[in-house]
Structure 1
């Protein structure tokens, strides 16, 4: 069932990526310009969307249970979890920074980025299929 959860959460994150991106482009546009955070918001939005697709892809690979990925299910599951939580922390802290202009939130963002990087490494390892 966990593999279906990744597809579900990826789809939910994708819907939020569109909604938050539209909200930022329209309702928050003047605010983001006034505090100089347009690029920060765009970075959060891009990484949010990119990792939505990686989470869905990993969920599909877990669902299909084929090839090397079948041999490394735990590694692939860890990778998907890291992308899920990394996206929430990385993009979430940047979104909050843009909404509140509380600068110290940017200090938390690298934790999410680190989780995303480790997730990509584990995704690559899972493709090798060695135990």
Structure 2
């Protein structure tokens, strides 16, 4: 199970990088959606200022989704390492991982849809996703508290 959690963490890290790299394309989608027409961006730089407050808000939502996506990918890698070197807490660890996965999908995934496609009707899923992420962190803490090394220090001497 630890290997599966490590796999999920690396997968989430990779997909967060991809989502971050797509910010420029998403910026164009947001500008087109807000303006109601196909609009060319003034420049090709990612640091161009947003054309209006609505675009800026939606870009900030997208960036928040990417940030939480990446942080939880790294957390899953850490959880996988803890599970790999611990004799206890495997079930709690997998439940923590699943909670984080559901949380990221609901939180970041919904923010991606709201920001890129303007699907504001999904807004209520964001706090549900956040609650799953918080639950995942609490379960991660319990997994750490259950930690018992696979190898005793005396066995190494």
TM-score bracket relative to the smaller structure = 0.7 to 0.9
Partners of 1:79 and 1:38 in 2: how far apart?
A: 30
Greater C-alpha radius of gyration = 2
Q: Once superposed, which parts of structure 1, at least 4 consecutive aligned residues long, lie more than 3 Å away?
A: 30-35
Give the match for residue 73 of structure 1.
90
Structure 2: which 5+ runs fail to align? 31-49, 148-157
Structure with the bigger percentage of helix: 1
What is the total number of aligned residue pairs between the two structures?
124
Q: How does 1:1-131 map to 2 (within 5 A)?
A: 2-24=1-23, 26-32=24-30, 33=50, 35-36=54-55, 37-65=58-86, 70-129=87-146
Structure 1 residue 3 displacement after superposition: 1.4
Partners of 2:5 and 2:146 in 1: how far apart?
A: 20
CA RMSD of aligned residues (A): 1.7
C-alpha contact (below 8 Å) 2:96/2:140 kept by paired residues: yes
Structure 1: which 5+ runs fail to align? none
TM-score for the superposition, normalised by structure 1: 0.86
The secondary structure found in structure 2 opposite 1:71 is: coil
